[in-house]
RNA sequence: GGUCCCAUCGUCAAGCGGUUAAGACAUCACCCUUUCACGGUGAAGUCAGCAGUUCGAAUCUGCUUGGGAUCACCA
């Protein structure tokens, strides 16, 4: 076979060569040990939490080695394209503290770096140059099978193959077409895709070292995978090889789902005579499927938290997500955090080697805990500003109300805050309304909020509240105030904790019960910050109104 | 079905042939607190199973089981 001639037939207008591009994109001038990493999402509408998981590794490795972390947009599948999605990816990376040093910086913005374009759809002349070379090398051939006509065809063919035998046919029949037939097909205008002429033997194996998985044996690739689709655009594999070579990625961090196709990628590198980068195949972030009870990959369709925007919309501090993800990556992070409560997480001695190779289960409860700790350390003024900023975008009603009662809101948030052991009640900002609704008449409806514990009888509640209404005095100090509440409780048959414990049957309840009744009557909740502070913020008139309402509605 | 990967409390996990099998979240109890919290102390809970190697196995080997990934002109 005359490969040179075949190459001319297939790519007669292609004049640029790989050598031209090797020269155009020379080796990076970086300090020894500096690693070049990248995240390469496809713009399909959202940025996946699993993507951020990997980007954390990329960013941290680049940071630790004084290297480069860049963003490349993999938009070679036009069908799945969603307008604006590349911006989403870039914005999410920025929000989640993994801003790229180089690459795509947003739609219409100037890209940063000398190795662009960083959007694959703009790199067509590069891909064709390498495609032509593959043909010249005798390592690629045109395939005229009409699998491209619809996804269904491929699906059916595949399922049929799976049913009929254990084996999927690797070698494509078109590899044996003679040049005359090819020429004829071309003349007839038949659509064609370019396939790798694989010369691997799946029986043979070789050693490969992955940065996370360690030393492994791989089978040689035998699949004549597609290098250029019939629309002339390369699918992932070929674009990956070319881009990461030309952009000089030193470590490719990607999900474990790529592991099975690694041997094919390596075969392309070898065919082209290019040294492949180092690889780090990360575990896949999973979740328990509520319906089936089984473990599965975090999926956008079923799990809102698979979309990084979810955490923004729910009002989590983005660092909380970073720290959680880092904890999944290197589980000793927690211990480090405990020992270094005030250092930025980027100071943590992160190591790729410490990444476990089993798939972690995504745990929102744990995130909430991390988040609560982080939020608890934010001073009230700053916290209010953060909540309002969030609410401006996601809950304008809340934003309005908070601004209308700005001073009160700030005092509310200041309760038990800015001290050595701050209160930890806010996990994310979308909880704020529910948590503090009783402070704002715009949100509070006491007729639906009365949830007294069943153990208190209506008459007991009414008696206590009636008594309390008589003595309520907001000019008292906290000690005096509580003393008044206590006296009032005693009159109604409640005792202080110690006395109560000695003979519970002699009393209606203890002081905690009495406080609980008053708290629920005023706020509708069993859990609020310090009641004294709440009452002062609410004002005497409002508190009396609420108490009277409860008394009358329980009578 | 083929190939590959994984397996320690409910979850994240230390562990690298000899440990009372760390720690964190969650759960529960108690203490502190004249309330809610914060905090403190403690409890419960794990080596998937079966063989083998070994004086000795969570750790090494094999099988079984369970789970995951993949087998596209998607990435």
Q: Is the pLDDT assigned to residue A171 strictly greater than 90?
A: no
Q: Is the pLDDT assigned to residue A402 strictly greater than 80?
A: yes
Name the more confident of A85 and A554: A85
CA A305 to C1' B66, in angstroms, rounded, equals 27
A431 CB-near residues (< 8 Å, 6+ apart): A315
Q: Which two tokens stand for residue A187?
A: 């003349």
Q: Is the pLDDT assigned to residue A141 strictly greater than 60?
A: yes
CA A468 to C1' B42, in angstroms, rounded, equals 38
Q: Within window 102-141 on A, which residues have Cβ closer than 7 Å to strand B? A: none
pLDDT in tens, A199-230: 999 889 999 999 999 889 999 999 999 999 99
**Neighbour-count burial of A102, counting CB atoms closer than 10 A to its CB (0-12 exposed, 13-18 middle, 19+ buried):** buried
CB of residue A216 closer than 7 A to nucleic acid strand B?
yes
Confidence of residue A151 (pLDDT cuts 50, 70, 90): very low
Name the more confident of A554 and A268: A268
Q: How large is the angle between the packed helices A380-394 and A396-404, nearest 10 degrees?
A: 140
Q: Is the pLDDT assigned to residue A111 strictly greater than 60?
A: yes
Q: What is the ipTM of this complex?
A: 0.93
Residues A221/A263, Cβ–Cβ less than 8 Å: yes
Q: Is the pLDDT assigned to residue A159 strictly greater than 70?
A: no
Weakest-pLDDT range from A36-50, A76-90, A176-190, A284-298 = A284-298
CA A281 to C1' B47, in angstroms, rounded, equals 27
Taking residues A17-43, what's their average pLDDT? 96
Alpha carbon A86 to chain centroid, angstroms: 16
CA A77 to C1' B35, in angstroms, rounded, equals 61
A70 CB-near residues (< 8 Å, 6+ apart): A36, A37, A38, A100, A101, A102, A103, A113, A115, A118, A247
Nucleotide nearest to A530 (CA to C1'): B36
CA A233 to C1' B73, in angstroms, rounded, equals 9
Q: What is the DSSP letter of A207?
A: E
pLDDT of amino acid A540: 86
Residues A314/A369, Cβ–Cβ less than 8 Å: no
pLDDT of amino acid A474: 80
pLDDT of amino acid A509: 81
pLDDT in tens, A436-448: 999 998 888 766 6
Q: Which two tokens stand for residue A474?
A: 């907001």
CB of residue A477 closer than 7 A to nucleic acid strand B?
no
Q: Is the pLDDT assigned to residue A339 strictly greater than 80?
A: yes
CB of residue A209 closer than 7 A to nucleic acid strand B?
no
Residues A213/A281, Cβ–Cβ less than 8 Å: yes
Q: Which CATH class is domain A446-554?
A: mainly alpha
Name the closest residue (CA) to the C1' of nucleotide B23: A335
Confidence of residue A554 (pLDDT cuts 50, 70, 90): confident
CA A288 to C1' B12, in angstroms, rounded, equals 14
Q: Nucleotides of chain B within 7 Å of a protein C-beta? A: 1-8, 10-14, 22-26, 33-39, 67-75
Q: What is the mean pLDDT of chain A?
A: 89
Q: Is the pLDDT assigned to residue A155 strictly greater than 70?
A: no
Helix (H) or strand (E) holding A522: helix A511-523
CB of residue A146 closer than 7 A to nucleic acid strand B?
yes
Confidence of residue A482 (pLDDT cuts 50, 70, 90): confident
Weakest-pLDDT range from A19-28, A112-121, A236-245, A524-533 = A524-533
Domain boundaries, chain A: 3-16+123-282, 288-376, 380-427, 446-554
Name the closest residue (CA) to the C1' of nucleotide B72: A154
Q: Within window 426-465 on A, which residues have Cβ closer than 7 Å to strand B? A: none
Q: Is the pLDDT assigned to residue A92 strictly greater than 60?
A: yes
Q: Within window 29-88 on A, which residues have Cβ closer than 7 Å to strand B? A: 40-42, 74, 76-77, 80
pLDDT of amino acid A150: 44
Alpha carbon A545 to chain centroid, angstroms: 46
pLDDT of amino acid A164: 52
| One CATH from 2.40.30.10, 1.10.260.40, 1.10.1160.10, 1.10.3720.10 for A288-376 | 1.10.1160.10
Q: Is the pLDDT assigned to residue A518 strictly greater than 80?
A: yes
Q: Cα torsion at A228, A230, A232, A235 (round to 10°)?
A: -40
Confidence of residue A149 (pLDDT cuts 50, 70, 90): very low
| One CATH from 3.40.50.1980, 3.90.1150.10, 3.40.50.2300, 3.40.50.620 for A3-16+123-282 | 3.40.50.620
Can you tell me the distance from the alpha carbon of A11 to that of A45, in angstroms, rounded to the nearest whole number? 34
Can you tell me the distance from the alpha carbon of A284 to that of A303, in angstroms, rounded to the nearest whole number? 15
- Percentage above 90 pLDDT, chain A: 62
Taking residues A168-197, what's their average pLDDT? 89
Could you tell me the maximum CA-CA distance found in chain A, to the nearest angstrom? 107
């Amino acid at each position: 076979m005359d490969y040179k001639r075949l190459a001319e037939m297939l790519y007669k207008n292609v004049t640029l060569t790989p050598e031209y591009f090797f020269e155009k994109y020379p080796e990076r001038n970086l300090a020894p040990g500096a690693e070049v990493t990248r995240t390469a999402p496809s713009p399909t509408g959202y940025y996946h939490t699993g993507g951020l998981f990997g980007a954390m590794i990329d960013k941290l490795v680049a940071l630790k080695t004084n290297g480069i972390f860049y963003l490349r947009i993999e938009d070679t599948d036009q069908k799945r394209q969603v307008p604006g999605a590349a911006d989403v990816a870039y914005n999410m990376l920025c929000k989640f503290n993994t801003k790229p040093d180089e690459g795509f910086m947003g739609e219409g913005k100037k890209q940063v770096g000398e190795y662009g374009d960083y959007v694959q759809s703009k790199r067509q002349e590069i891909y064709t140059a390498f495609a032509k070379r593959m043909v010249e090398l005798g390592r690629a051939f045109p395939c005229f099978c009409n699998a491209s006509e619809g996804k269904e065809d491929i699906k059916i063919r595949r399922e049929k193959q799976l049913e009929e035998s254990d084996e999927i046919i690797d070698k494509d029949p078109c590899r044996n077409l003679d040049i005359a037939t090819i020429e004829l097909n071309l003349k007839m205008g038949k659509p064609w895709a370019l396939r790798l002429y694989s010369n691997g033997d799946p029986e043979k194996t070789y050693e490969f070292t992955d940065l996370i998985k360690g030393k492994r044996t791989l089978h040689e690739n035998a699949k004549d995978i597609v290098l250029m689709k019939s629309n002339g655009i390369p699918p992932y594999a070929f674009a990956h090889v070319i881009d990461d070579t030309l952009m000089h990625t030193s470590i490719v961090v990607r999900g474990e789902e790529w592991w099975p196709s690694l041997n094919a990628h390596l075969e392309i590198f070898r065919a082209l005579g290019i040294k492949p980068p180092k690889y780090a195949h990360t575990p896949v972030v999973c979740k328990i499927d509520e319906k089936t009870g089984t473990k599965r990959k975090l999926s956008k369709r079923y799990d809102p938290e698979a979309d990084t925007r979810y955490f923004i919309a729910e009002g989590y501090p983005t660092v909380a997500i970073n720290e959680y993800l880092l904890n999944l990556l290197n589980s000793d992070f927690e211990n480090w955090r405990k020992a270094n409560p005030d250092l930025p997480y980027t100071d943590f001695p992160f190591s790729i080697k410490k990444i476990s190779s089993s798939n972690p289960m995504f745990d929102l409860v744990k995130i909430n805990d991390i988040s609560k700790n982080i939020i608890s350390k934010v001073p009230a003024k700053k916290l209010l500003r953060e909540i309002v900023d969030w609410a401006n975008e996601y809950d304008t009603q809340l934003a309005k109300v908070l601004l209308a009662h700005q001073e009160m809101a700030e005092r509310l948030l200041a309760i038990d805050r800015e001290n050595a052991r701050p209160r930890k009640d806010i996990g994310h900002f979308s909880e704020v309304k529910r948590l503090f609704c009783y402070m704002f008449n715009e949100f509070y409806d006491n007729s639906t909020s009365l949830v007294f514990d069943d153990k208190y009888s209506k008459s007991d509640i009414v008696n206590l509240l009636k008594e309390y209404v008589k003595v309520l005095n907001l000019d008292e100090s906290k000690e005096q105030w509580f003393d008044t509440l206590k006296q009032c409780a005693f009159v109604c048959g409640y005792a202080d904790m110690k006395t109560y414990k000695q003979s519970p049957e002699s009393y209606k309840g203890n002081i905690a019960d009495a406080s609980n009744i008053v708290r629920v009557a005023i706020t509708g909740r069993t859990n609020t910050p310090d009641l004294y502070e709440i009452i002062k913020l609410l004002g005497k008139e409002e508190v009396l109104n609420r108490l009277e309402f409860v008394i009358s509605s329980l009578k």
